[in-house]
């Protein structure tokens, strides 16, 4: 007759020889369950704090980027140190009607607010692009835009690369670039985060007089105002950066927004 | 072994049985994370915590771990503890965890941890296993802290971020030795520490694996 008392069943289980198949399986199962509970518990409980940390870091990098642009510190002082935040519609380039910075995350949870990209056009390798983007505008005393700060993203060699591109008021001169997230190879591709490399960007031009996007990261020395020298030994990451910049500066990226700014809409 | 007191179990791994300098375990992290004292301290604390936290449960279930899966059971317990510690670091010590990058997750594969659970916790009652794990954690920390402080002082003139030696850049006299911040310097320093300890405690010197071919000539 089977003994259904769980306590004595547990005792009989523990008394099994360690090499028995039942005991091996049950121990493996119990240990994995306990560990799984521990790990998922820790992850779930600590996630809100970690997300806040990452957001704070992104904010700090944004401030670092803006503070690093020449003349920006004085400008910020004149401005009272504030940036205006605008959500733009990437398809039209206009300011978004119903989406605000507060409800942008909710809006982006809806798949209808994303555009699937044709592989031929998808230089940055992102697959689909959000229809709305939050940009930061810095204005001078006359109210004209002196700097626009634009988040960009794309596929790197090992994983996604997130960056922030700052453009001067003409929407054609790079004021600065900051990498906010990447998982490239340490010592090679990961050097895109280094100030020494990023320092090349200020002053570079995005497009030529015929409005063709010309900015690129090249192997070897940069030979004109559109080119930035790549990282030796990190060809794929350099190419990825090049494509990410070209995509976001192009018609499927912030192109319509640049036109809108030039028309004086903002 | 059985006659060792708890105090001996705790203090032996500090110098006499030091996991880093005698057993030469856990080197990868010891070399990589000792560029500054703050990072070395965090790594030491993380490793000690993982050691202690995994020694407890393994020692508790030691009589019931089937031999055929004992390593995987130990590794899964160690790995879970590492993930938990890593999550805690990311939540409460975000900047330090950024500078430690992958090295916290790599504690899982640190031979030191598996060496203690497999070699000690699996055969000893929980309290003794905890004391041993803590002692080994301290032994590892001791070496890391020593290397971390020396490298930070000579490499950057700082200690825990405070300037202790005025550098030339700031109008002082000290030229930072950049080599100290690179991996080779950690190798040199570890070698010197091992040499120093073995000169003082000659019983730690390992016998030669092979006699050099011209050994007899040398004796002449």
pLDDT score recorded for residue A82? 59
Q: Alpha-carbon torsion A202, A204, A209, A214, what sign? A: negative
Q: Where are the domains of chain B?
A: 10-204
Out of A43-47, A76-80, A149-153, A255-259, least confident range: A76-80
Measured between CA atoms, the residue of chain B closest to residue A22 is B66
From the list B67, B80, B92, the residue facing A19 with the nearest CB is: B67
Over residues A63-74, the mean pLDDT reads: 63
The CB-side HSE value for A65 (13 A sphere, CA atoms) comes to 31
Measured between CA atoms, the residue of chain B closest to residue A14 is B64
Beta carbons of B76 and A14 less than 8 Å apart: no
Beta carbons of B65 and A186 less than 8 Å apart: no
pLDDT score recorded for residue A29? 93
pLDDT score recorded for residue B1? 46
Q: How far is A190 from chain B (nearest CA, A)?
A: 13
Asked if B54 and B78 touch (Cβ cutoff 8 Å), the reply is yes
Segment of A41-45, A103-107, B112-116 carrying the highest mean pLDDT: A41-45
Give the integer Cα–Cα distance in Å for A47 and A51: 6
Give the integer Cα–Cα distance in Å for A5 and B130: 34
Give the integer Cα–Cα distance in Å for A90 and A129: 9
pLDDT score recorded for residue A59? 74
Give contacts of A 7-26 with B, CB under 8 A. Answer: 14, 18-20, 23-24
Give A-chain residues touching B68 at CB under 8 angstroms.
19, 24
Query: Rg of the Cα trace of chain B?
Result: 20
* Kind of pairing between the strands at B162-163 and B158-159: antiparallel
Q: How far is B214 from chain A (nearest CA, A)?
A: 43
* B170-186 tens-digit pLDDT: 777 888 888 888 888 88
Largest Cα–Cα distance of chain B, in whole Å?
A: 65
Asked if B117 and B74 touch (Cβ cutoff 8 Å), the reply is yes
Q: What is the DSSP letter of B208?
A: P
Asked if A218 and A189 touch (Cβ cutoff 8 Å), the reply is no
* A201-256 tens-digit pLDDT: 888 999 988 888 899 999 888 888 899 999 988 899 999 999 999 999 998 899 99
pLDDT score recorded for residue B220? 45
Q: Which of A14, A35, A158 to mutate to test the interface with B (most CBs of B within 10 A)?
A: A35
* B32-62 tens-digit pLDDT: 888 888 888 888 998 999 999 999 999 998 8
* B183-201 tens-digit pLDDT: 888 889 889 998 998 888 8
In chain A, % of residues over pLDDT 70 = 92
Largest Cα–Cα distance of chain A, in whole Å?
A: 92
Q: Which of A23, A50, A181 to mutate to test the interface with B (most CBs of B within 10 A)?
A: A50
Enclosing H/E stretch for B32: helix B27-32
Over residues A35-44, the mean pLDDT reads: 94
Is the confidence at residue B2, as pLDDT, over 70?
A: no
Give A-chain residues touching B87 at CB under 8 angstroms.
42-43, 46, 50
* A167-196 tens-digit pLDDT: 888 889 998 888 888 888 888 888 898 888
pLDDT score recorded for residue B213? 65
Measured between CA atoms, the residue of chain B closest to residue A16 is B64
Beta carbons of A35 and B76 less than 8 Å apart: yes
Mean pLDDT of chain A: 85
Contacts of B167 (CB under 8 A, 6+ apart): B156, B157, B174, B175, B176
From the list A28, A38, A39, the residue facing B69 with the nearest CB is: A28
Give the integer Cα–Cα distance in Å for B108 and B89: 16
Q: Which of B58, B64, B98, B183 to mutate to test the interface with A (most CBs of A within 10 A)?
A: B64
Question: Hey, is the C-beta of A35 within 8 angstroms of any chain B C-beta?
Answer: yes
Give the integer Cα–Cα distance in Å for A218 and A230: 5
pTM (predicted TM-score): 0.65
Q: From B24, B121, B119, B31, select the one nearest B81 (Cα to Cα).
A: B121
Secondary structure (DSSP) of chain A: -----HHHHHHHHHHS-TTSHHHHHHHHHHHHHHHHHHHHHHHHHHHHHHHHHHHHHHHHHHHHHHHHSTTHHHHHHHHTS--EEEEEETTT-SBPSS--TTTHHHHHHSGGGEEEPPTTT-TT--SEEESEEEEEEEE-TTS-EEEEEEEEEEE-SSSEEEEEEEEETTSSBEEEEEEEE--PPTTTGGGGGSHHHHTT-TT-BSB-TT--B--EEESS---STTEEE--TT-HHHHHHHHHHHHHHHSTTTTHHHHHHHHTT--
Q: How far is A36 from chain B (nearest CA, A)?
A: 8
Enclosing H/E stretch for B158: strand B158-159
- Interface A–B counts its CB contacts (< 8 A) at 59
pLDDT score recorded for residue B79? 92
Give B-chain residues touching A43 at CB under 8 angstroms.
83, 87
* B79-107 tens-digit pLDDT: 999 999 999 988 888 888 877 767 888 88
Q: Which of A14, A19, A29, A42 to mutate to test the interface with B (most CBs of B within 10 A)?
A: A42
Give the integer Cα–Cα distance in Å for B158 and B151: 9
């Amino acid at each position: 007759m089977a003994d259904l008392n769980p306590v004595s069943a547990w005792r009989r289980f523990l008394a099994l020889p360690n090499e028995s198949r039942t005991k091996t399986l049950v121990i493996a199962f119990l240990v994995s369950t306990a560990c799984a509970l521990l790990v998922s518990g820790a992850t779930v409980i600590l996630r809100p704090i970690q997300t806040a940390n990452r957001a704070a870091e992104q904010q700090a990098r944004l401030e670092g980027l803006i503070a690093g642009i020449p003349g920006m510190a004085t400008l910020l002082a004149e401005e009272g140190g504030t940036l205006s935040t605008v959500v733009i519609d990437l398809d039209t380039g206009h300011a978004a009607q119903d989406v605000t910075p507060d409800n942008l995350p909710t809006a982006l949870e809806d798949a209808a607010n994303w555009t699937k990209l044709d592989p031929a056009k998808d230089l940055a390798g992102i697959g689909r692009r959000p229809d709305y983007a939050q940009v930061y505008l810095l204005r001078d005393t006359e109210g004209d835009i002196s700097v626009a700060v634009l988040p960009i993203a794309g596929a790197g060699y090992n994983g996604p690369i997130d960056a922030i591109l700052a453009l001067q008021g003409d929407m054609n001169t790079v004021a600065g670039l900051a990498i906010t997230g990447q998982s490239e190879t340490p010592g090679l591709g990961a050097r895109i985060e280094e100030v020494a490399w990023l320092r090349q960007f200020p002053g570079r031009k995005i497009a030529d007089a015929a409005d063709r996007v010309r900015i690129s990261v090249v192997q070897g020395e940069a030979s004109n105002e559109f080119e930035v020298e790549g990282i030796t030994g990190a060809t794929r990451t350099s190419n990825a950066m090049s494509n990410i910049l070209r995509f976001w500066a192009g018609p499927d990226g912030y192109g319509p927004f640049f036109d809108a700014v030039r028309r004086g809409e903002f | 072994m059985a006659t060792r007191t708890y105090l001996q179990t705790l203090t032996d791994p500090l110098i006499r049985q030091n996991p880093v300098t005698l057993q030469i375990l856990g080197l990868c992290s010891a070399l990589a994370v000792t560029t500054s004292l703050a990072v070395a301290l965090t790594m030491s604390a993380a490793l000690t915590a993982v050691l202690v936290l995994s020694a407890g449960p393994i020692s508790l279930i030691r009589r019931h771990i089937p031999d055929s899966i004992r390593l995987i059971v130990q590794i899964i317990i160690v790995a879970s503890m590492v993930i938990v510690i890593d999550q805690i670091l990311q939540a409460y010590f975000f900047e330090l965890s950024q500078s430690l990058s992958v090295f916290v997750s790599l504690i899982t594969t640190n031979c030191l941890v598996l060496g203690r659970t497999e070699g000690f916790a699996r055969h000893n009652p929980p309290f003794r296993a905890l004391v041993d794990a803590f002692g080994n954690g301290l032994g590892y920390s001791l070496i890391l802290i020593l290397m971390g402080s020396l490298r930070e002082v000579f490499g950057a003139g700082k200690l825990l971020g405070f300037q202790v030696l005025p550098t030339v850049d700031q109008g002082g006299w000290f030229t930072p030795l950049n080599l100290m911040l690179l991996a080779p310097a950690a190798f040199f320093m570890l070698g010197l520490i091992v040499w120093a300890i073995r000169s003082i405690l000659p019983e730690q010197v390992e016998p030669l694996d092979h006699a050099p071919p011209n050994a007899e000539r040398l004796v002449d």
